[in-house]
Amino acid sequence: MNYESAQRWLDDYIAAWLSFDPALIGALFSDDIAYRYHPYDEPYRDRDAVVASWLGEGDDQGGASDVDEPGTFEAHYRPIAVDGTVVVAQGVSSYRDTPDGPIVRVYDNCFVMRFDDAGRCQEFTEFYVQRPASAE
């Protein structure tokens, strides 16, 4: 991985999240993905489980969020460190209650990821914190 390929993957991650298209989601991850919404979670251990989790289906291990209504989510992430197959990214996710409404929640995110030779994510761990309203 390099910064450009990591940024492309992050852009594809956002596009997949916005689309909730199972094929786009699945294309991001290797067959043997270990995916954590929080660093303390037991990981989802295969691509189908991750896709189901993103779609709000299947066995919820306590991390998956609901499917966002179109127009209520936006995000911007960028790689801040790339070391071989390991990428650390940071960014911001913003949510609205309604598509035309004001932003009501903002999260600062950090992703720690490891990629396979095909550029698919094999390990994904998310760290995030909701910004206090006074900091927005």
Expressed as residue numbers, the domain containing 49 is 3-58+71-129
**98 three-state secondary structure:** coil
Residue 63 lies in a domain: no
Close Cβ partners of 25 (under 8 Å, ≥ 6 residues apart): 16, 17, 50, 51, 54, 55
Residue 13 lies in a domain: yes
> 81 or 59: which carries more pLDDT confidence?
81
Burial of 100 (0-12, 13-18, 19+ CB in 10 A): exposed
Contact 71, 100 (CB under 8 A): yes
Q: Quote the CA–CA distance of 118 and 1 in Å, as a whole number.
A: 10
DSSP assignments along 52-86, one per residue: HHHTT-S---S-PPPPPPTTSEEEEEEEEEEETTE
Instruction: Count the domains in the chain.
Output: 1
Residue 81 lies in a domain: yes
Residue 84 lies in a domain: yes
Residue 66 lies in a domain: no
Residue 69, pLDDT score: 83
- 75: domain CATH number? 3.10.450.50
Each residue's pLDDT tens digit, 28-75: 999 999 999 999 999 999 999 999 999 888 655 555 556 788 889 999
